Chains A and B, each alone.
Chain A
Amino acid sequence: EAGVAQSPRYKIIEKRQSVAFWCNPISGHATLYWYQQILGQGPKLLIQFQNNGVVDDSQLPKDRFSAERLKGVDSTLKIQPAKLEDSAVYLCASSLNRQGYGYTFGSGTRLTVV
């Protein structure tokens, strides 16, 4: 089974620029998550999709972050404009949404805002 694909792997941008990340989940996984992992901390949920609907975006900074999941498969996460504190690894994960099953994470996109 193919894993969760993410691109790009690395991105360096200047503050106030915009950036977009792409995620392709495991086939058949209805639930997709975007997590932000700042260095030295655990992953923090930004947004959760069930098919193409948003289930939880309570921790998404909506003034600058946006995400969509068209057709219930691929997803993109956008930051506009970026701030220095957005420097982090952005992880996409997908799951079958069964308790205790665990997510499958992608390798992440490391964003550096300078």
Chain B
Amino acid sequence: DQQVKQNSPSLSVQEGRISILNCDYTNSMFDYFLWYKKYPAEGPTFLISISSIKDKNEDGRFTVFLNKSAKHLSLHIVPSQPGDSAVYFCAASDPHSGGSNYKLTFGKGTLLTVNP
């Protein structure tokens, strides 16, 4: 049972344009959402997060939007750069999953390719 879904395995955009990566979830108990970026042969790197009490969080070129009623979040990268080419994972945290220990549930990832 996939609680965090990234339905697009891949996305290709032109340099300078906007990249939009989408993520859906089914568990209404999730209260924190995170995006990770992964380059080949490296571990995932934390990118940006958002609390369920917010609908938007921005950090430089990266903005995450959360629509709780639709159980949907998205990551916007503007402008996209070739160095952004990587696999992006959406992850969610359920505070009830283990007391105060924040276990993350990951989606399958979306491969973003930014073409020069």
Chain A residues engaging chain B, CB cutoff 8 angstroms? 4, 31, 40-45, 48, 50, 55-56, 91, 93, 95, 97-108
With CB as the reference atom, state the residue of chain A lying closest to B51. Answer: A100
Q: CA of A43 to CA of B45 in the docked complex: distance in angstroms? A: 13
Report if A102-B101 is in contact (Cβ < 8 Å); known contacts: A42-B4, A91-B43.
no
Say whether, besides A42-B108, A105-B43, A107-B41, A56 and B103 are in contact (CB < 8 Å): yes
Neighbouring A residues of B104 by C-beta, 8 Å:
45, 103
A100 touches B43 (CB 8 A): no
A-B contacts, 29 of them at CB < 8 A, read A4-B43, A41-B109, A42-B4, A42-B107, A43-B106, A44-B106, A45-B103, A45-B105, A48-B98, A55-B101, A56-B97, A56-B101, A56-B103, A91-B43, A97-B100, A97-B101, A99-B31, A99-B93, A99-B102, A100-B32, A100-B34, A100-B49, A100-B50, A100-B93, A101-B49, A102-B49, A105-B36, A105-B45, A106-B43
- List, in ascending order, chain B residues with CB within 8 A of A104's CB: 46
Chain B interfacial residues counted at CB < 8 A: 32
Among residues of B, the one whose C-beta sits closest to the C-beta of A110 is: B41
Shortest Cβ distance from B44 into A: residue: A105
- Residue with the greatest number of chain B CB neighbours at <10 A, chosen from A31, A100, A101, A105: A100
Give the residues from 29 to 54 in chain B that come closer than 8 angstroms, CB to CB, to chain A. Answer: 31-32, 34, 36, 41-46, 49-51
Known contacts A31-B101, A42-B4, A45-B103; is-contact A99 B32 (Cβ 8 Å): yes
Contacts of B6 in A (CB 8 A): 42
Contacting pair A103 B46 (CB below 8 A): yes
B50: A residues at CB distance < 8 A: 100
Complex: A98 Cα to B104 Cα, angstroms? 12
Contact among A31, A40, A91, A101 with B108 in the assembled complex (CB-CB below 8 Å)? A40
- B51: chain A residues within 8 A (beta carbon): 99-100
Nearest CB in chain A to that of B5: its residue: A42
A40 shortest CB reach to chain B, Å: 7
| Chain B positions within 8 Å of A105 at CB level | 36, 43-45
CB <8 Å contact, B43 and A108: yes
